[in-house]
Chain A
């Protein structure tokens, strides 16, 4: 799981004082993190993104994991900024938010599922 890798990474950074590149398993539109400690998790379950609103500093990589028994997608409201493929149960998607702003997103299969990421 990503967060184990990130935790190991943080420990390494603390121990050695060196930058750590964590390669997370991702879909299109992501980049390797320079500072893995800023990753944030969103769980998809029961037709809901949880937490529905997260606030993160710019440069954060957000990771989505689908725990539902039905596929979902993670698609920016403008359908361009980020757009995952269909995530079946246990599939993941990540996106790194470099620019501040409010990013509303939804599931393109079930458009009533909406949430947002606020980047500061």
Chain B
């Protein structure tokens, strides 16, 4: 595989194989289509324009899935009068991914007001995705009015408590958490004791080399508490995952992409398919952010996740709805 030395992260202050300065640099490029490939803790970054130089076995990954979030079906205000169209565009973007996703994760706020017709519409649109299996976690909008009863009947049969569960795909362990129930006045997202006890038990017999992917609606790291962008008891949840070599946390709620690496844990939030929200502190409140119509799709998107076994590498690529689709594998030049 050819790549220039300057793409490989060299500085390792914490002696844990992760160059945070390099990752921050990588994060800054993420919006323009950069792949940050973490391989055994060592971070390499590649811009999508240099895909041709990459070893396909590095890129293809053994496990591919896509994350969508915050479809807010039923929203119809100025920030996006047609959330059906943008969700359909998100599905089209998923269907055009170079490596077809095997399944989807939806990180919540499926509906805008937890109305049956809103859930029905999302279900119908997602039927058009190339990946037929969708795993959900609820957002606070999905729990409005009935504390999640409809949500659980539709999307979380066989789950525990408010709707948490886990499953395995190709020896990668997925955990869906609910942090939008029983929110207290003035509080942040909350997992609660029952769920934390379940989580501790759920992962305790897994080998530390098992990759773990946790997904939940509200971010599990503290992004901006003033706007409720954090989870009160996430530190305890993460303490149960400390021993694992590769942990990825996928969230939604904030309607913009953001990443952070802390030790072996990569945190990532997805864009919404419905409307963007302002960056932390850049507006009076975290409400829907109105932008000129031609800019809207550049602020909405899906996330493509590829997992390469053996190297604990997770490639997380955000795809904005206005980006052109990549050329498919068959059309690549032979030296790719």
Q: Is the CB of A68 within 8 A of B185?
A: no
Q: A71 to chain B: which residues have CB within 8 Å? A: 112-113, 141, 144
Number of A-B residue pairs with CB-CB distance less than 8 Å in the complex they form? 60
Closest chain A residue to B277, Cβ basis: A70
Classify chain A: how many residues form its interface, as a range: 20 to 34
Q: A86 to chain B: which residues have CB within 8 Å? A: 113-114, 144-145
Given A86-B113, A109-B140, A109-B141, A46:B287 Cβ within 8 A:
yes
Quick one: which of A45-98 are within 8 Å of B by CB?
A: 46-48, 68-71, 73, 75, 77, 85-86, 88-89
Closest chain B residue to A76, Cβ basis: B185
Identify B285's interface contact among A48, A77, A108, CB under 8 A: A48
Quick one: which of B51-80 are within 8 Å of A by CB?
A: 77-79
| Chain A contact surface mostly | loop
Q: Is the CB of B185 within 8 A of A89?
A: no
Q: Is the CB of B144 within 8 A of A109?
A: yes
B184 sits at the interface (CB 8 A): yes
* Chain B contact residues, CB within 8 Å of chain A: 77-79, 112-114, 140-141, 144-145, 183-188, 225-228, 284-288
| Chain B contact surface mostly | loop
Given A86-B145, A112-B228, A77:B287 Cβ within 8 A:
no
* Chain A contact residues, CB within 8 Å of chain B: 46-48, 68-71, 73, 75, 77, 85-86, 88-89, 104-106, 108-112, 114
Identify A69's interface contact among B79, B141, B185, B226, CB under 8 A: B79
- In angstroms, Cα B18 to Cα A11, docked, is 73
Q: A46 to chain B: which residues have CB within 8 Å? A: 284-285, 287
Given A69-B78, A69-B287, A111-B228, A88:B186 Cβ within 8 A:
no
Q: Is the CB of A108 within 8 A of B183?
A: yes
Q: A111 to chain B: which residues have CB within 8 Å? A: 183-188, 228
Task: Kindly provide the distance from the CB of B147 to the nearest chain A CB, expressed in whole angstroms.
Answer: 10
Closest chain B residue to A108, Cβ basis: B183
- In angstroms, Cα B114 to Cα A47, docked, is 20
